[in-house]
Amino acid sequence: MFQQLSNIDSAFKHVRIFTLVIIVACITITCFSIYKGYSFSQHLKQQVIILPDGKAIIGLTSSRKDNIPVETRRHVKDFHSAFFTLSPDDKAISETMKRAMYLADQSAKRVYDDLKENGYFSQLISSNTSQQVLIDSVTVQTNSYPYYFRFFGKLRIVRPLTVTTRNLITEGFLRDLQIRTDNNPNGFLIEKWTIVDNKDLEVQKR
């Protein structure tokens, strides 16, 4: 009789141990599943689906801070391309300047007004001259705010008889607007913009 009681007690102990092992295993599996599910959902939140020409492409999103060096350089390039790439057409000049003015403050507007007052755009139109900016590089100091930048490039001015290449160095500061629009997709504003150098480098006959 005592032997049977001892066997029953031993069986209960084994059952308790087995039950505890099962419970611990279930808790471990549940916690692991929750962790993996959360990690997977966070990964999905960072993905965006882009549909260029009807083809689905998966991309990854990143924080605004991670993209500041890239987006500031892009903003500076976009502004200079709009401001300095000109064709002998008053409507085209008006459109590109309008685009440029969304990206900068009154410092750029003053340069535009001075050029207009001096007849620069009228001369381009009357002489059938086109102008193109060639971008060399853009440096931006993102360790202090507002972000100081310097633009390095060249201007290629094509006239009926000559092609003039000018040096183009400008500088200014970038203010973060914290908002993006169709007219300002990078969400920055150029301030205190000045042209440092714009000397002729070469004149070639056509």
pLDDT in tens, 40-88: 665 555 555 555 555 545 555 555 676 899 999 999 999 999 999 999 9
Q: How far apart are CA 69 and CA 142, in angstroms?
A: 7
Residue 194: inside a domain: yes
Shared domain for 127 and 149, answered yes or no, is: yes
Side-chain half-sphere CA neighbours of 175 within 13 A: 10
167 contact partners, CB below 8 Å, separation of at least 6: 154, 155, 197, 198, 199, 200, 201
pTM, to two decimals: 0.71
State the residue range of the domain holding 97. 62-205
Is 54 a member of any domain? no
**71 and 96 assigned to the same domain:** yes
Residue pair 152/188 in contact (Cβ under 8 Å)? The answer is no
Residue 96 and residue 33 in one domain = no
What's the rounded Cα separation, in Å, for the pair 197 and 194? 9
Q: Of 98, 130, 92, which Cα lies nearest the Cα of 112?
A: 98
Domain assignment present for 56: no
How is residue 182 written in tokens? 């169709």
pLDDT digits 0-9 by tens, 7-27:
566 666 766 777 787 888 888
Q: Is the pLDDT of residue 5 over 50?
A: no
Does 185 sit behind a cis peptide bond, omega within 30 degrees of 0 on the bond before it?
A: no
Do 120 and 195 have their domain in common? yes
How far is it, in rounded angstroms, from Cα 155 to Cα 166? 5
Q: What was the pLDDT predicted at 2?
A: 41
Confidence (pLDDT) at 32: 80
Any domain includes 55: no
How many structural domains is the chain composed of? 2
The tens digit of pLDDT for each residue in 85-106 reads 999 999 999 999 999 999 999 9
